Amino acid sequence: MLTSVSAALPRRGRATTGRQPNRALVIGCGFIGSHVVCELAANGRRPVVLTRSRPAHEVLSAIAPRDLHLGDASNADDLEGALDGIGNVVYCAGGLLLAASEEEPERNQELTLAPLRTVLGALRSQPEMKLTYVSSGGTIYGEPERLPVDETAPPRPISSYGRLHLICEEEIARHRIEHGLQARVLRCSTVYGERQSPNRGQGAVVTFMQRIENGLPIDLYGGGATIRDYVYAGDVAQALVALLDRDEAPPVLNVGSGVGTSLLELLRLVEVEVAREAEIRSHPEREFDVHRIVLDTSLLKSLLDFQPTPLDAGIARTHAWLRAEGSKETRSRPPLHATQ
Asked if the model's pLDDT at residue 329 lies above 60, the reply is no
Please name the residues in contact with 1: beta carbons below 8 A apart, sequence gap of 6 or more: 232, 234, 235, 238, 306, 307, 308, 309
What distance, in Å, lies between the first and last C-alpha atoms of the chain? 54
- pLDDT tens for 114-124 read 999 999 999 99
Asked if the model's pLDDT at residue 12 lies above 60, the reply is no
Q: Are 235 and 295 in contact (CB under 8 A)?
A: no
Asked if the model's pLDDT at residue 14 lies above 70, the reply is no
Q: What is the pTM of this model?
A: 0.90
The phi-psi region of residue 230 (left if phi > 0; otherwise alpha if psi is between -120 and 50; otherwise beta) is beta
Choose among 165, 205, 195: nearest CA to 314.
205
Quick one: DSSP state of residue 145? S
The residues facing 230 across adjacent strands are 190
pLDDT score for 287: 86
- pLDDT tens for 159-214 read 999 999 999 999 999 999 999 999 999 999 999 999 998 877 668 999 999 999 99
Return the domain boundaries, the chain. Answer: 24-322
Which of the listed CATH numbers 3.40.190.80, 2.40.50.140, 3.40.50.720, 3.40.50.80 matches domain 24-322? 3.40.50.720
pLDDT score for 333: 42
Asked if the model's pLDDT at residue 334 lies above 80, the reply is no
Q: Which segments within 119-222 are labelled E, that is strand?
A: 130-136, 182-188, 190-192, 218-221
Under DSSP, is residue 51 helix (H, G, I), strand (E, B) or coil?
strand
Question: What is the average pLDDT value for the chain, to the nearest integer?
Answer: 89
Phi, psi angle pair for 337, to nearest 5°: -130, 130
Asked if the model's pLDDT at residue 322 lies above 90, the reply is yes
Could you tell me what percent of the chain has a pLDDT over 70? 90
